[in-house]
Amino acid sequence: MDIAWLRDFEALVAQKNFSRAAEERNVSQPAFSRRIRALEEEFGVKLINRQTLPLSLTPAGEVFLAQSKVMLRTYDETLERCQIIDAAGENVIRFATSQSLYMTHYKTHIAPMVDEGGLEIDLNSTGWAADQFVSALQQRYCDVILTYWHPAMDALAPLALGNCDYITLSEDVFVPVSKSGPEGPLHRFESTPKKPISLLSYGTVSALRSVVEHALRQNTDGPKMLVVNQSALASSVKAMVMEGFGLGWLPHELCKQELAEGRMQIVGGPEQRHPLEIRLYRDKENSKPTLNRLWQDMQAALAVQSNR
């Protein structure tokens, strides 16, 4: 099957007209029609109902549309990964991390060492799902991932079972916070609230979601909470908290300035706060010399800090 056929199919679905779709795909209408028929013959089913105006999908076509989106996304991601790997030299260390960790712990702990050592870094600050970080490391799309870690993060479990090594770079605390008001936090853990507490949580792609769920399980006797928004990024949860839409859990390092300035407040007691580790993971079999050098330098620097 030609991957271009999938793009033809999506164009036809969007345009609902062979001529307009052919124009969008920059081919003649007869050639475009032959490609759509070739796609149908490849799978042995009719995908397009040609008897309706505008054109519509058959039941098989509806199923195929959803799967074609998955196939195209997988193709594009694979192509991007291969191109990045090919473009990166043997001495380039490819980092992958979340936006919040890039803004905090990467700049504090790793960037100075990289600059001092003259290492060449390809940094990918990304909104990947947690399991994508794992697969990226296992497939050598990146050499190192910088990630939060908590025992509740099941998505990172394959790293412990696989051939991976890690360094605990630093520690943070996952704290529930609210925007400050004239009389204290706008949202708080009340024992008998008049209505459910508005919670700003994380989407399924975020590894931090499992830590929020863990925090809620630890307080089953606490007040009822209503999830009013879910975000993939901690920075987005922070923005929603600062707009006063509810309370949410954030890594302390990410909101320390707002806390120090009094624009945000930690709510709840110590039992509502949960430790996070900031870990660097690598594949033990990755023998890239610059990666080994960085790893040894990081271990040495951390050993010096622990002995102070």
pTM passes above 0.75: no
Q: What is the DSSP letter of 196?
A: P
Q: Mind listing the pLDDT tens digit for each residue in 257-282?
A: 999 999 999 998 898 999 999 999 99
Residue 225 pairs in a beta bridge with: 197
Q: Which residues contact 216 (CB under 8 A, 6 or more apart)?
A: 225
Residue % of the chain over a pLDDT of 70: 91
Between 94 and 167, where is the model more confident? 167
HSE on the CB side for 117, CA within 13 Å? 21
- How does strand 248-251 pair with strand 197-202? unpaired
Alpha-carbon distance of 297 to 278, in angstroms, equals 17
pLDDT of residue 124: 66
- Mean pLDDT of all residues belonging to the chain: 86
Alpha-carbon distance of 191 to 186, in angstroms, equals 15
